[in-house]
Amino acid sequence: MCGIVGAVAQRAVSGILLEGLRRLEYRGYDSAGLAVFEGEQIHRLRRAGKVENLTHAEQETPLKGHSGIAHTRWATHGKPTENNAHPHMSGDDLAIVHNGIIENFEPLKHQLQQDGFVFTSDTDTEVIAHLVARAVNQGKNLQEAFLETVSQLEGAFALGVLHKDYPDQILASRKGSPLVVGIGIGENFIASDQMALLQVTDRFIYLEEGDFVQVTPDEVMIWDANLEIVDRPVKKFEHSLSAADKGEFRHFMMKEIYEQPEVVKATLQGRISDKHLLEQAFGSEAASVFDQTQHVQIIACGTSFHAGLVAKYWLEDLAGIPCSIEVASEYRYRKHVIPANTLFVTISQSGETADTLAALRAVKDKVLASLTVCNVPGSSLVRESDLCLMTNAGPEIGVASTKAFTTQLVALLMLTVALARRHGLTEQQETDIVEALHKLPGLLLAAVKLDKEIEILSQDFAEKNHSLFLGRGPLYPVAMEGALKLKEISYIHAEAYAAGELKHGPLALVDKEMPVVAVAPNNALLDKLKANLQEVKARGGELFVFAGADHVKPEDGLKVEQMPDVPEILEPIVYTIPLQLLSYHVAVLKGTDVDQPRNLAKSVTVE
């Protein structure tokens, strides 16, 4: 996804900007550009493709100015061409970089065209440049013009602005997309994330939603969303807490479980506004693909397959679109009937999963379009799919997937909304889902806080050799994922069943040596599930139930772990957390190699 870097200094900044862009390359992008003051003028350079192309262009015409902004773009509006690359300018006076999506760019563009502004790109971003310029032409100072512009924008954005009459100043703002301020000595910076600036500083201000900031070499002034001047703390970046470092945690897996509230926030950033999904986040061609989609085929392996199973429930329920799902290793080796207008969705943490990639290659020419939900930018699945939605979970080191799974679910829920809004999802229903998504990081945090209680619960599993996991509806795949997690890292045999299937076989196994785990949120299927739990209890089974507040009462042979109240649509995401914690603690008690369980590899690039 695209990245922003900006610098105001007493030395040439183009090297700092280019190095910053290189450090943001991991996010994935399709073109790059920068704008730097040269004398009294703003000089702009842009290139399609890699930052390297931009670096070569800059070497041919070196830029020596002391302030500038730069950008790597991942196209949402308009093709990934040089012409659509950022920065965008209004005349020669003003340059702007933007990360995000402006939902209402069409009416704004129309107005600006009527006022005589000529557009030179297909992006939504260009309206921002002209809006600021128009307000300046009307006599406002740059700050007033920028504030007025920001107040007109709907959607998600992080912005950086450079104006010819304010040579040592960058204005910036964020709403829905990330932005940090880097603090130097006699120089200051902005960037989409701190990684871009670690070459020049380790002190950062993390801007909050709606913040507006004026950055000069000697001063950083911040206004909050109510336009009150605010003092945000400067935090020192601890190098020791890099992605490849366990920090305070004993294992990567635990670190990654705890990261989920934050990474889910990153998955949502720039993809939802206060009330709506910003579906262009799937790519500039997404709208026309979604318009034509009449069937979804999901292909994945392992944990990603479980995420796909949840998505099938969502897609058929909310969008009313038929959805088929299959593991890649089966799908790739059989003949298939592909219905007309099939959107082919692959899910993979690494983007290199061999079977999934082979399945994509086998059907690519026979489907309407392919879309991947993936965590690694630039990976094969991302490169070879027509559309993608990155999960933004950051590097996942623990072999047993945790944060990749929950962020995949978030991405798939966004896909569901994009399709469902074409098939009868009302605006109010969409708003309800989006508002629930805004609450999701907080709910995940509440679930992670059950850690200590679940650690105690895990003692009942350490001596067992077998276990059953039960769920119903979209919680059935969550039970499957819980069973997989326990198998992977504790080596305890675990099987998951749709709770209604119990009496068709597995009940024969139940006795006091067979712990039974149930995920039982307070939804329409709870009463049915409770009946299944009684079937287990009557056979002397030991039950562990994760349930909503006071809906399942503890009794003999039935331990209840009380979960936070969760909007129904989010239950599969939040109820995953206690199952991850349970597996982790059981594995620690058993003394296994939690992060690198025997016989398993992280990125399955072979058949």
Q: Which residues are marked as active site?
A: 2, 602
DSSP string of 555-577, one letter each residue: BTTEEEEEPPP--GGGHHHHTHH
User: Which residue lies nearer to ligand HGA by CB, 377 or 515?
Assistant: 377
d(CA 171, CA 190): 9
d(CA 573, CA 448): 12
Instruction: Enumerate binding residues for ligand HGA (CB under 6 A).
Output: 1-2, 73-78, 98-101, 123-125
User: Which residue lies nearer to ligand HGA by CB, 75 or 440?
Assistant: 75
User: Which residue lies nearer to ligand HGA by CB, 23 or 98?
Assistant: 98
Which is it for the CA torsion 322, 328, 329, 332, positive or negative? positive
User: Which residue lies nearer to ligand HGA by CB, 123 or 297?
Assistant: 123
User: Which residue lies nearer to ligand HGA by CB, 118 or 549?
Assistant: 118
User: Which residue lies nearer to ligand HGA by CB, 50 or 77?
Assistant: 77
d(CA 156, CA 103): 8
- Within a 10 A sphere around the Cβ of 508, how many other Cβ atoms? 10
Q: What is the 3-state secondary structure (H, E, C) of 219-287?
A: CEEEECCCCCEECCCCEECCHHHCCCCCCCCCCHHHHHHHCHHHHHHHHHCCCECCCCECHHHHCCCHH
What is the three-class DSSP state of 496? strand
Q: Are 516 and 536 in contact (CB under 8 A)?
A: yes
Q: Are 63 and 12 in contact (CB under 8 A)?
A: yes
Residues present in the chain in total: 607
Tokens of 5: 């870097």
Minimum CB separation of residue 234 from ligand HGA in Å reads 27
Q: Based on the number of CB atoms within 10 Å of its own CB, is 348 exposed (0-12), middle (13-18) or buried (19 or more)?
A: buried
What is the three-class DSSP state of 42? strand
Minimum CB separation of residue 35 from ligand HGA in Å reads 15
Minimum CB separation of residue 47 from ligand HGA in Å reads 15
Minimum CB separation of residue 110 from ligand HGA in Å reads 18
Query: In angstroms, how far apart are the furthest CA atoms of the chain?
Result: 84
Minimum CB separation of residue 74 from ligand HGA in Å reads 4
DSSP code of residue 176: B
User: Which residue lies nearer to ligand HGA by CB, 124 or 430?
Assistant: 124
Minimum CB separation of residue 20 from ligand HGA in Å reads 16
d(CA 276, CA 268): 11
Minimum CB separation of residue 368 from ligand HGA in Å reads 23
d(CA 172, CA 592): 49
